[in-house]
Chains A and B, each alone.
Chain A
Amino acid sequence: MADMQKIQLDILGQVCPACLLVVLREMNIHRQQLKNGETQLIIKTDHRDTTRTIPESARKMGYDVEVRNLETYYEITIGKK
Chain B
Amino acid sequence: MKSLSAKNNNPAGLPGKKTSSVRTLTEENQRLRDENVRYARYIREKTNQLLEVMGTQPLRPEEFDDSELLSLDPIGIIAGSFAQVYEYLNQTISDLSEARDELQAIFDATGVGISIIDQDFAIIKCNEKQRELLVDKQMDNVCGSYCYEVYCLKNGPGLDCPAVDTFATGRPVVVNEVRKKDKYFQLVTTPYARDEQGAVTRVIEVALDITARKKAEEEERRQRGFYLAEKSKLASVLQSLSEGLLVTDSRNRIISINGAALQILDLSQKQAQKLKINELFTDCPPEARTIFDVDTPEAFQNFEILFRSDNRELLLSVNAVPLFDGDGDTIGRVFTFRDITEEKHRQEVFHRTEKLAAVGQLSAGIAHELNTPLGSILGYARLLLKGDNLLPEQQERLSIIAEQAKKSGVIIRELLNFSRLSVQPPDRTITCDLNQVAVEAIKVLQTELDKRFITAKLDLFVLPAVTADPKRLEQVFVNIVLNSAQAIGSNGEINIASQCSEHEAQITVRDSGPGIPPEDLSRIFDPFFTTKPVGQGTGLGLSICAGIINDYGGAIDVRNAPGGGTIFTIILPLTGEAHGQ
A residues apposed to B, CB below 8 Å: 15-18, 20-21, 24-25, 27-28, 31, 49, 52-53, 56-57, 60-62
What CA separation (Å) do A21 and B56 show in the bound complex?
10
Which residues of chain B are near A56, meaning CB under 8 Å? 55
What CA separation (Å) do A81 and B88 show in the bound complex?
11
**Partner pick for A20 among B56, B80, B91, CB 8 A cutoff:** B56
Which residues of chain A are near B155, meaning CB under 8 Å? none
Which residues of chain B are near A49, meaning CB under 8 Å? 56-57
Which residues of chain A are near B84, meaning CB under 8 Å? 27-28, 31, 61-62
Instruction: Look across to chain A and name the residue whose beta carbon is closest to the beta carbon of B78.
Output: A24
Query: Does A17 lie within 8 Å of B57, measured CB to CB?
Result: yes
Task: Say yes or no for B105: interface residue by CB 8 A criterion.
Answer: no
What CA separation (Å) do A21 and B77 show in the bound complex?
7
27 contacts between A and B (CB under 8 A): A15-B63, A17-B51, A17-B54, A17-B59, A17-B63, A18-B63, A20-B51, A20-B54, A21-B74, A24-B80, A24-B81, A25-B72, A27-B81, A27-B84, A28-B80, A28-B84, A31-B80, A49-B56, A49-B57, A53-B55, A53-B56, A57-B54, A57-B55, A61-B84, A61-B88, A62-B88, A62-B92
- Cβ contacts B54-70/A at 8 Å (1 or 0 each): 11111100011000000
Which residues of chain B are near A62, meaning CB under 8 Å? 84, 87-88, 91-92
Task: Say yes or no for B85: interface residue by CB 8 A criterion.
Answer: yes
B residues 336-358 in Cβ contact with A at 8 Å = none
- Cβ contacts B32-65/A at 8 Å (1 or 0 each): 0000000000000000000100111111000110
Query: Does B64 lie within 8 Å of A61, measured CB to CB?
Result: no
What CA separation (Å) do A17 and B63 show in the bound complex?
9
- Cβ contacts B153-186/A at 8 Å (1 or 0 each): 0000000000000000000000000000000000
Query: Does B85 lie within 8 Å of A16, measured CB to CB?
Result: no
What CA separation (Å) do A16 and B56 show in the bound complex?
7
Given the interface pairs A25-B77, A27-B81, A57-B81, the reply to whether A17 lies near B88 with Cβ below 8 Å is no
What CA separation (Å) do A1 and B438 show in the bound complex?
127
Q: Looking at the assembled complex, report how far the CB atom of B285 sits from the nearest CB atom of chain A, in whole angstroms.
A: 95
Given the interface pairs A60-B88, A61-B88, A62-B88, the reply to whether A17 lies near B58 with Cβ below 8 Å is yes
Instruction: Look across to chain B and name the residue whose beta carbon is closest to the beta carbon of A31.
Output: B84
Instruction: Look across to chain B and name the residue whose beta carbon is closest to the beta carbon of A34.
Output: B84
Which residues of chain A are near B74, meaning CB under 8 Å? 21
**12 additional A-B residue pairs with CB within 8 Å, beyond A31-B80, A56-B55:** A16-B56, A16-B57, A17-B58, A17-B59, A27-B84, A28-B84, A53-B54, A57-B55, A57-B81, A61-B85, A61-B88, A62-B87
Instruction: Look across to chain B and name the residue whose beta carbon is closest to the beta carbon of A53.
Output: B56
Instruction: Look across to chain A and name the residue whose beta carbon is closest to the beta carbon of B84.
Output: A61
What CA separation (Å) do A65 and B511 show in the bound complex?
121
Instruction: Look across to chain A and name the residue whose beta carbon is closest to the beta carbon of B83.
Output: A28
Query: Does B88 lie within 8 Å of A28, measured CB to CB?
Result: no
Which residues of chain A are near B77, meaning CB under 8 Å? 21, 24-25, 28
**Interface-centre pick from B51, B54, B59 (highest chain A CB count, 10 A):** B54
What CA separation (Å) do A27 and B88 show in the bound complex?
14
Which residues of chain A are near B55, meaning CB under 8 Å? 52-53, 56-57
Query: Does A21 lie within 8 Å of B72, measured CB to CB?
Result: yes
Q: Looking at the assembled complex, report how far the CB atom of B167 sits from the nearest CB atom of chain A, in whole angstroms.
A: 37
Which residues of chain B are near A15, meaning CB under 8 Å? 63
Q: Looking at the assembled complex, report how far the CB atom of B156 sits from the nearest CB atom of chain A, in whole angstroms.
A: 48
What CA separation (Å) do A20 and B81 show in the bound complex?
11
What CA separation (Å) do A72 and B59 show in the bound complex?
25
What CA separation (Å) do A68 and B72 show in the bound complex?
28
Which residues of chain A are near B54, meaning CB under 8 Å? 17, 20, 53, 57
What CA separation (Å) do A1 and B259 show in the bound complex?
88
Which residues of chain B are near A28, meaning CB under 8 Å? 77, 80-81, 84
Instruction: Look across to chain B and name the residue whose beta carbon is closest to the beta carbon of A29.
Output: B80
- Cβ contacts B106-135/A at 8 Å (1 or 0 each): 000000000000000000000000000000
Which residues of chain A are near B57, meaning CB under 8 Å? 16-17, 49
Instruction: Look across to chain B and name the residue whose beta carbon is closest to the beta carbon of A52.
Output: B55
**Partner pick for A18 among B64, B81, B87, B91, CB 8 A cutoff:** B64
What CA separation (Å) do A18 and B77 show in the bound complex?
12
What CA separation (Å) do A20 and B50 show in the bound complex?
12
Which residues of chain B are near A57, meaning CB under 8 Å? 54-55, 81
Which residues of chain A are near B80, meaning CB under 8 Å? 24-25, 28, 31
Which residues of chain A are near B81, meaning CB under 8 Å? 24, 27-28, 57, 61
Q: Looking at the assembled complex, report how far the CB atom of B55 sits from the nearest CB atom of chain A, in whole angstroms.
A: 6
Q: Looking at the assembled complex, report how far the CB atom of A68 sits from the nearest CB atom of chain B, in whole angstroms.
A: 21
Q: Looking at the assembled complex, report how far the CB atom of A52 sits from the nearest CB atom of chain B, in whole angstroms.
A: 8
What CA separation (Å) do A27 and B77 show in the bound complex?
9
B residues 416-461 in Cβ contact with A at 8 Å = none
What CA separation (Å) do A52 and B56 show in the bound complex?
9
Q: Looking at the assembled complex, report how far the CB atom of A50 sits from the nearest CB atom of chain B, in whole angstroms.
A: 9
**Interface-centre pick from A21, A25, A56, A60 (highest chain B CB count, 10 A):** A21
